[in-house]
Amino acid sequence: MARNLLKRDSISFFLEILATFGKLHGPILTDDGVLAFRPLGSGNDLLLEYSRTLVPPKKYLLPPRDAVLFFAPDEWYHQLAAAVPETILVGLHPCDLQGIAYLDKVFLGDRIDPLYRARRTALTLIGLSCEPDENCFCGDLSATETHGCDLFMHQSPGGFNLKDNTPKGTAILDRLTPILAEGKSLPAVSRTCDMAAAIQLASVRSETHGESALWDEFAERCLSCGACSLCCPTCYCFDIREYGALDGESTVRLREWDNCLFKDHGEVAGGFNFRKSRQERFQYRYRHKYLGFGPTRGIASCVGCGRCRAVCPVGIDLLELFKERQDEKQP
């Protein structure tokens, strides 16, 4: 028996102690009825049972708009060390943790992105176990439920069993000990999901579903609104824009979220477009999501959070491609 059980009636103490480590953020229900990661406190109450936020936590690492470079005639192009406050993100579901682990692979891999690293270093991740709803399909994708988070909160009948995974997490757990009760350590849970398994298989086999009639069907219905990539925890493609300031001399270069379903995503100067049709843009999204590009080749980046299926205004669901394949196998 270890002192690792956080009882439900100790949550407010728990948050108070956490707040000494940094600014607390977590899932809340906003006034306009949206689930969102926001700063906690002053009326923003942490939700410990929720389905999924609309915008995933990638916004903490890759803000929708980020100044990457500044230019002034006497200073040339330069980076400014971003002043990133220590932030404690509480209540991340395993899929979102896995989304962050994927972004780490991309932005802290062979080529380290300095802005991402600064933000990532200042972020403490506190995971939270969850129950899947009809849109989730994380399955075994989240078997290692803790995916690099600092501290994990496993819901149990008595409250939450806490498990530290990093030195940061251990430091937090040490400070929490006085408010914890003795609890049993819970066995690791493995969740199985056919869909997750089908995606893994497609990714290993580089399955493109090239012949499927579904592409045309999707393309006909899609509005190119981009909601599916915007809300995806692992979609990170970006555009770079540079804007001159009013002084006519200094400049800021911005990195902004882009979207592969937008028409100009594959366009080059002169108007030639390498992905003119919606089908081509969908297939591009499919490839990136499930098969990977460049160094992430062979890594499926869909973490099964279900956001894209939940938000698409016309009910497009790329999973139908995998279902079609499964149906073919079961006559």
Ligand X SMILES: Cc1cc2nc3c(=O)[nH]c(=O)nc-3n(C[C@H](O)[C@H](O)[C@H](O)COP(=O)(O)OP(=O)(O)OC[C@H]3O[C@@H](n4cnc5c(N)ncnc54)[C@H](O)[C@@H]3O)c2cc1C
Q: Is 104 exposed, middle or buried (0-12, 13-18, 19+ CB in 10 A)?
A: middle
Dump the DSSP string for 223-269. Answer: ----HHHHT-TT---EEEEEEE-TTSS-EEEEEEE--TTSGGGGB-G
Among 102, 107, 152, 160, binds other proteins (CB under 8 A): 107
Q: Is 314 in the site for ligand SF4 (CB under 6 A)?
A: yes
Residues near 126 by beta carbon (within 8 Å), at least 6 away in sequence: 18, 88, 89, 90, 91, 92, 149, 150, 151, 152, 153
Among 179, 219, 225, 237, binds other proteins (CB under 8 A): 237
CB 225 → ligand X: shortest distance, Å? 20
CB 246 → ligand X: shortest distance, Å? 15
CB 305 → ligand SF4: shortest distance, Å? 4
One character per residue 202-231, x = contact with ligand SF4 (rule: CB under 6 A)? --------------------xxxxxxx--x
Helix (H, G, I), strand (E, B) or coil at 225: coil
Q: Token pair of 95, please?
A: 């899929």
CB 241 → ligand X: shortest distance, Å? 4
Q: Is 267 in the site for other proteins (CB under 8 A)?
A: yes
Which residue in the block uniquely carries the two structure tokens 């009639």? Answer: 213
Cα–Cα separations (whole angstroms), residue 218 to 4, 203, 222, 279, 325: 48, 21, 6, 8, 16
> Can you tell me the distance from the alpha carbon of 67 to that of 59, in angstroms, rounded to the nearest whole number?
14
Question: For other proteins, which stretch binds (CB under 8 A), given 35-43, 44-52, 84-92, 107-115?
Answer: 107-115
Q: Is 201 in the site for other proteins (CB under 8 A)?
A: no
Helix (H, G, I), strand (E, B) or coil at 257: strand
Are the C-beta atoms of 150 and 172 separated by less than 8 Å? Answer: yes
CB 124 → ligand SF4: shortest distance, Å? 23
Instruction: Using the minimum distance from each CB to other proteins, give the nearer residue, 26 or 292.
Output: 292
> Can you tell me the distance from the alpha carbon of 151 to that of 172, in angstroms, rounded to the nearest whole number?
8
Backbone angles phi, psi at 262, to 5 degrees: -80, 145
Q: What does 79 bind: ligand X, other proteins, ligand SF4, none (CB cut-off 5 to 8 Å by kind)?
A: other proteins
Residues forming the site for ligand X (CB under 6 A) = 240-242, 269
Give the binding-site size for other proteins (rule: CB under 8 A): 50
CB 269 → ligand X: shortest distance, Å? 3
> Can you tell me the distance from the alpha carbon of 177 to that of 197, in angstroms, rounded to the nearest whole number?
39
The β-bridge partners of 65 are 256
Q: Is 291 in the site for other proteins (CB under 8 A)?
A: yes
Among 313, 324, 326, 327, binds ligand SF4 (CB under 6 A): 313
Q: Which residues bind other proteins (CB under 8 A)?
A: 69, 71, 73, 75-81, 106-107, 111, 113-114, 206, 210, 236-244, 249, 251, 253, 258, 260, 265-270, 272, 274-275, 280, 284, 287-288, 291-295, 297
Q: Which residues bind ligand SF4 (CB under 6 A)?
A: 222-228, 231-234, 261, 289, 302-308, 311-314, 316
